[in-house]
Amino acid sequence: MAKDDKGAEAVAAVEAVAEQKEKAIAAFNDIDWDALTRTGSFLNFTEVAILTRAHDSMLEVTFSNQEEGEKYVELLLKALVKVTSDARVTKYVLTKMEEILSGPDLVKRSKYFLDSSGKVDCSPFLSLLRGLKAENSDENYIGRTAGLVLASLLSVQRGELENMIALLAELLGYINVKDRRSNQKDARLPIAIQILAVSLRKDAARAMFARHGGVGLLIKLLRMQGNDASAQLLYDLVFCLWTLSLCEDVLPDFLSEGAIPILVEQVTALPREKVVRVAIATLRTLAAPSATQTTTQQGFVQEMMRAGLTKTLRHLRARNWADDDIAVDVEHLYNKLMSDYHELSTFEMYQQEVRSGQLKWGLCHTEKFWRNNVRSMEADDFALLKQLGELLGSADEEVVSIACYDIGEFVRFYPNGKSLVNQSQFNLKTKIMALIESPNTNVQRQALQAVSKIMVQKWEFVK
């Protein structure tokens, strides 16, 4: 999908939700409130009058009187629980709740939703959230709005850990499916991620989600998104990662799960300005000095360099951005990378790359690099050479191809390298020969060339 198409799709999605909200509010006058009062079990005439007065007034007017605001929220909660036979009532009530909790008065107004024990009653919201359907449906508006209202409430209330766990469990049920590829177009996924983004405003929610492999899950979902990915879904996924990047204890997960190349892709692809903004903000947070995660932070910077972020930032500096924060973050991150680049030797970058297990073609995998740095491989009894041997068994075929290339270049330039790789502690020749039968043509080619370098005396004559 072209960038313009993505932009149009994102606008259409926003407009669709706005239209549903307008319909939900407009339906107030079509609801047979008299019928709901006649049963005597739903609402009485006084309560309907209060709802009508609030409907005809600005929210600011209703909540300018604390007692009136409390009574209004009480009636909305009552209608949500009692009136289950008319979907129009449910949509109206949830839409008004979302409006009430939007804006700077969220913390103050959220207290009106607490029960007598001072907690949020999650049951009606979770019940509606469970009604989400895999296909696109107007009915999903109810589940989506119920989830957003509940997430907003829990994100600002102290405690509420049990309720937050219950909400996250429901969301993980929609997100963490076994066969994610077949569920990529599941309409519940973007809704669940949107609700998750609101939930992760709370520190405790971030810690809980991270403990359940949250960073890795979000990275896998980002990897799955193809050219037709929704800009809004990309934004929500990266926003969730940004919130997690604020937790120092979670930072090692970003490195181990390979988050940096995926975030750099979001910046390089320029899917939409708001996606770039939050991706750059996440990368800037990860690159910032950390008192407790110094080694991890250095690893982030080196990963960014290997992923080509410096070149991308150089281009982005020349762009005009509607959001000034992007320009500030781009400049700050560019200066940070350039400063660290001059302090870091090429071989140190190579060490970090091998240890991370994420080999990528670049300056560290060239004849010039190996000619200049081959002696550095002697450190710690050829520890890096042993690690290259382990990477020959990687599930990533590009990593295997590069490991073959590097071992071949080591053999070319290191004195007695041919006999060294045949030693039992390395056994690299046998491992590489097995890869000649690989179904992947790139692995085949690099393995064949590496074996040739091991067996041929003067490789430069047969290249």
Provide the CATH number for the domain around residue 431. 1.25.40.150
- pLDDT band of residue 353 (cuts 50, 70, 90) is confident
Residues 336 and 355 in one domain: no
Q: What is the mean pLDDT of residues 5-13?
A: 58
Query: From CA 416, how far away is CA 185, in angstroms rounded?
Result: 55
Residues 319 and 171 in one domain: yes
122-170: per-residue pLDDT in tens?
A: 999 999 999 999 887 778 999 999 999 999 999 998 878 899 999 999 9
Residues 282 and 367 in one domain: no
Residues 170 and 138 in one domain: no
362-412: per-residue pLDDT in tens?
A: 778 999 899 999 999 999 999 999 999 999 999 999 999 999 999 999 999
336 vs 183, 198, 279, 310, CA distance in Å?
A: 39, 30, 16, 10
297 against 321, higher pLDDT: 321
Residues 258 and 269 in one domain: yes
Residues 327 and 303 in one domain: yes
State which of 85, 118, 146 marks the end of a domain: 146
Query: From CA 303, how far away is CA 258, in angstroms rounded?
Result: 9
Residues 305 and 416 in one domain: no
37-90: per-residue pLDDT in tens?
A: 876 668 888 999 999 999 999 999 999 999 999 999 999 999 999 998 899 999
Q: Among candidates 103, 102, 121, which has minimal Cα distance to 113?
A: 121
Residues 320 and 439 in one domain: no
Q: What is the model's pLDDT at position 41? A: 66
* φ/ψ (deg, to 5) at 308: 80, 25
- Is the distance from CB of 165 to CB of 208 less than 8 angstroms? yes
Assess whether pLDDT exceeds 90 at residue 11.
no
Q: What rounded mean pLDDT belongs to the chain?
A: 88
Structurally, the chain folds into a number of domains equal to 3
Residues 168 and 261 in one domain: yes
Assess whether pLDDT exceeds 50 at residue 179.
no
Query: What is the reported pTM?
Result: 0.76
Region of residue 81 (left: phi > 0; alpha: psi -120 to 50; beta: else)? alpha
Domain encompassing residue 253: 160-345
On whether residue 9 sits in a domain, the answer given is no
Q: What is the mean pLDDT of residues 270-275?
A: 87
On whether residue 151 sits in a domain, the answer given is no
Q: What is the model's pLDDT at position 124? A: 96
Q: What is the model's pLDDT at position 166? A: 93
Q: What is the model's pLDDT at position 358? A: 82
Rg of the chain, C-alpha, whole Å: 28
Residues 211 and 293 in one domain: yes
